[in-house]
Amino acid sequence: MIEINKSSCQAENSNSRGNPLLSVENLHAGYDQSIILKDVSIQVSENEVVALLGRNGVGKTTLLNTILGHVSLAQGSISYVGNSMAGFPPDARARMGMGYVPQGRDIFPTLSVWENLQVSLSLSGSAGEERLDQVFSLFPVLKEMLKRKGGVLSGGQQQQLAIGRALLTNPNLLILDEPTEGIQPSIIDQIEDAIHSIKAEKKMSIILVEQYIDFARGASDYFYILERGSVVKEGPTTQLSDSLIEKYLTV
């Protein structure tokens, strides 16, 4: 286990984890008068899957929204592909390759599956089109349901569509907020397989917010545990012990 708040330790992490794609340093952020995130530092390296763990309300979604530029930061810095994100609005960060699947899925319910996918393709052009076959091979059900309205799909199918849409924007950093929430086990397995398959390409990093620990363990390389807006533990996922889970993650 790597203890946090030691600058020497961060240097050690970077060495063993490869080149950083995203670095969040000493971040404080929140809403209006309430600071939710306090002194948060995390790194996501190239081709790495990082799990952000923690109980309800600890600030996981707020951290994602700060990285994406929807929540402004009070202190600290965010650097992505070598650039400071200060002053970059959400759409600029998206164009730089941040892909987002929000908590609770984000599809257009009145559009068909195909039209939902087209919306992403219209943003990404040929790079996205090259990913279309991949999306259909990761989530074959989407190909079978192209004409169906998004809103009539099951929760799991909607989640697959939401992830498929994000992949078609051809991101460098795919940000998934609780993709397994309320979803049946067979589809959870497919989403985990999809993460392994994306990882094998070595072209994309993933931030995975997750409360389903088996899934986080199976899918991620490195973890951070948040409690009351601060990182309290971090380490390679192989070190995510049952005692840590008991202490910080079980309800």
**Which residues of the shown chain bind ligand ATP in the complex (CB under 6 A)?**
31, 36, 54, 56-62, 103
The position carrying tokens 């400071």 is 84
Supply the minimum distance, in Å, between the C-beta of residue 62 and ligand ATP: 3
CB atoms inside a 10 Å sphere around CB 171: 22
169 lines the binding site for Mg ion (CB under 5 A): no
Which range of residues in 26-34, 52-60, 78-86, 148-156 is near Mg ion by CB under 5 A? Answer: 52-60
CB atoms inside a 10 Å sphere around CB 204: 21
Tell me whether residue 121 or residue 225 sits nearer to ligand ATP (CB atom): 225
Binding partner at 109 among ligand ATP, Mg ion, none, C-beta below 5 to 8 Å by kind = none
Supply the minimum distance, in Å, between the C-beta of residue 37 and ligand ATP: 8
Instruction: Give the tokens for residue 143.
Output: 């190909």
Sites for Mg ion among residues 93-132 (CB under 5 A): 103
Supply the minimum distance, in Å, between the C-beta of residue 30 and Mg ion: 14
66 lines the binding site for Mg ion (CB under 5 A): no
Binding partner at 57 among ligand ATP, Mg ion, none, C-beta below 5 to 8 Å by kind = ligand ATP
Supply the minimum distance, in Å, between the C-beta of residue 143 and Mg ion: 30
Binding partner at 62 among ligand ATP, Mg ion, none, C-beta below 5 to 8 Å by kind = ligand ATP
Contact yes or no for 178/103 (Cβ under 8 A) = yes
Residues in CB range of 163: below 8 A, 6 or more apart: 101, 139, 176, 179, 191, 194
**C-alpha closest to that of 108 among 141, 168, 151, 160:** 151
**C-alpha closest to that of 65 among 9, 27, 118, 19:** 27
Supply the minimum distance, in Å, between the C-beta of residue 211 and ligand ATP: 6
61 lines the binding site for Mg ion (CB under 5 A): yes
Per-residue CA distances from 174 to 34, 62, 100, 171, 247 (Å): 28, 16, 6, 6, 28
Tell me whether residue 58 or residue 145 sits nearer to ligand ATP (CB atom): 58
Contact yes or no for 67/52 (Cβ under 8 A) = no
62 lines the binding site for Mg ion (CB under 5 A): no
Residue ranges binding Mg ion (CB under 5 A):
60-61, 103
